[in-house]
Amino acid sequence: MNILVLAEVSSARVIGGAERVLRNQAIGLAALGHHVRILTRAPEPRFEGVIEMHGIQEWRYPVSRKHEAAFLWSSIRRSVERFDQLSVTRPIDAVVIHQSLAGLGPILSRRQAASRWIYVCHSLAHEEYETRQAPAQSTLASLRRHTNLRARQSVEGVVMSRCHRVVVLSQFMRQRVMAAHGISAARIGLVPGAVDAELFKPSLQRQTARATLKLPTDKTILFTVRNLVPRMGLDNLLGAIELLVATQPRLTLVIGGEGPLRARLQEEIQHKKLQDVVRLVGFIPESQLSHYYQASDLVLMPSLQLEGFGLVMVEALACGTPVLGTPVGAIPEILNQVDPILVAEGVDGRSLARALERVLARLKNAGEVARLANKGRLLVERRYNWTQHCSELARILDSAMPAQLAA
């Protein structure tokens, strides 16, 4: 099958979960014998054109960033132009859309070019946008924010309603897609997110990993890697650590990631006198990420909202490191399969502190450490790996498509 993947991110610039899913789906589908090409927006003007990675071509189109209207119009027009160019060089059997704006132009004007259109929903675009915005400071700013939010919801709804199938990564996202866009359950396929179990795997050399990363070898290491935005719950996590340090003096919390909250988090660390306990280490490249999981005693997911899947969880579990998370989004869906103790009762600082106390007490038992490590790794090998993910996605692509869709 000739498959064209439409995206707004690049498989060559892996900075988060969206890029990992894009890259690994393309590689996995190609390994199953399909011919895969990626069509995406150029991250910068100098990166236009065509690149090749793992034998897969990624075609990029330029967009105007003068203002929002120019960005929207150029994204639609350029994606259609490139789509036409690619359909001439090789017929397209199936289109897989990863972000709604990437698919808007082609699905509205070129839907007859392919017999299968699939939408992969990582999270809902308008919900992601809303959680990333600071409170509006004026009526005009509030109106602009509301307009942007509704535009994102509308674009995503238009694209989803015209696709034959919508693929979600968790049961949580299945419910959100049905509620937000009225997509029927029969058109939604659950294909759980995944992790490269060879890249992320347990290491018997925890102390070596710590030494490599210049982390303390004689302390309990807590680790989280997040976009530094409000929905990630990092303020509450700092509050939990502040409550714990009096009774748990040998803790070190490592926070990886970048984002608009970095300066504020640094101020909070100073204000709470946690500068000897908490480290902000910035962006962590994928090549180093497994070392941080392997070096840690416990990985934390303190999210306040969303979490359509939670790739960090399965990466850590693949490395044999237990994860403690809040009862948000898909977090309980995954962690309850390992042990319900790994899900906090709430998202606030006190709930996180109580959950940390319980889990850290368990981790003092070497047998319990081994049990949680083994259960987490086996869960990834059984359910959250790219081989299984891509096989399930391929089955959806091969299945009969619904006849009636939105016009």
Domains of the chain: 2-194+386-398 (3.40.50.2000), 206-383 (3.40.50.2000)
Q: How far is CA 278 from CA 29, 218, 273, 304, 385, in A?
A: 41, 15, 9, 20, 32
The single-letter code of the amino acid at 89 is T
Q: What pLDDT score was predicted for residue 218?
A: 92
Q: What is the reported pLDDT for 102?
A: 95
pLDDT at 134 over 70: no
Q: Is the pLDDT of residue 148 over 90?
A: no
Integer Cα distance of 317 and 376 in angstroms: 5
Structure tokens at 329: 């989004």
- DSSP code of 171? H
* pLDDT score at 404: 57
Q: Is residue 67 very low, low, confident or very high in pLDDT (cuts 50, 70, 90)?
A: confident
CA–CA separation, 209 and 384 (whole Å): 25
Residue 133 binned pLDDT confidence (cut-offs 50, 70, 90): low
pLDDT category at 143 given cuts 50, 70, 90 is: confident
**Beta strands 278-282 and 323-325: pairing type?**
unpaired
The residue ranges of DSSP E strands in 251-398, in sequence order, are 251-256, 278-282, 298-301, 323-325
In contact, 110 and 19? CB cutoff 8 Å:
no
Task: Give pairs for 335-340: CB < 8 Å, separation 24+.
Answer: 337/375, 337/379, 338/372, 338/375, 338/376, 338/379, 339/372, 339/375
Tokens of residue 262, six digits: 């970095």
In percent, the amount of the chain with pLDDT more than 70 equals: 97
Confidence category of residue 406, pLDDT binned at 50, 70, 90: low
Closest among 381, 314, 379, 372 to 341, alpha carbons compared:
372
Average pLDDT value for the chain: 92
| 47 has a pLDDT exceeding 80 | no
Neighbour order of strands in the sheet with 251-256: 278-282, 251-256, 220-225, 298-301, 323-325
